[in-house]
Amino acid sequence: MIRAFGFLLNQDDPKKCTALKMIKFAIITPTKTIQRNMLVLNPFANEVVCKNDRILVDSVCVIDCSWNKAHTVLANHKFLRKGVTRRIPALLAGNPINYARLGRLSSVESLSACYYILGEKNFALSLLDKFKWGHTFLDLNNDALEDYSAAENTSEVMKIESEYFGNRILNNRVQY
């Protein structure tokens, strides 16, 4: 099993922070550093997660920050120079704050999608079980997640992403 970590920037309301809840339930481990062998989830990365990434890494790290500050933090921060940086392919948010918004995933949704694509489906589902709206994320994205997880490489994932979300994807990035 690939280990799960959370890099918390403490920019959100702690009561709504999904990363803090995952830490509370000992699902993920908090970290202050990014290691070279970590798959780092960054919505602004050029490459998407695919199942072949599991041979490159031994852990996954979600960076928990406010969407209002995400571009500034994640596009420029020096801590992202380490690790294998990937983005989650386009999916619809199931969380109550950004419901059905393309790409506006919470930390738990991002982490769950990553594990689902990497082939750790049971763990991905168990992450969402801790949230009363977790099933909503799966209901919205089940077909896309299945197709992403079946893709052999990043170019196949990006092709599938384009088939599902078409012109809402520009230059391999979700329009926010």
- Under-70 pLDDT residues of the chain: 68-69, 75-80, 170-176
- pLDDT for the residue numbered 9: 84
Q: Residue 69's pLDDT is what?
A: 65
> What's the one-letter identity of residue 162?
S
Q: How many domains does the chain have?
A: 1
The structure tokens 């571009």 sit at: 71
pLDDT (tens digit per residue) in 109-149: 999 999 999 999 999 999 999 999 999 999 999 999 999 99
Please report the pLDDT score of residue 77 as a whole number: 64
Which distant-in-sequence residues (6+ apart) come within 8 Å of 119 by Cβ?
51, 54, 149
Residue partners of 166: CB distance under 8 A and separation at least 6: none
Query: Do 51 and 117 form a contact (C-beta atoms < 8 A)?
Result: yes
Q: Report the alpha-carbon distance of residue 123 to residue 111 in Å, rounded.
A: 10
Task: Provide CB contacts within 8 A for 97, sequence distance 6+.
Answer: 16, 106
Contact call for residues 86 and 43 (beta carbons, < 8 A): no
Written as six digits, the tokens of 81 are 């120079």
- Provide the domain limits for residue 84: 3-174
CA 1 to chain centre: 17
Give me the pLDDT at residue 44, please: 84
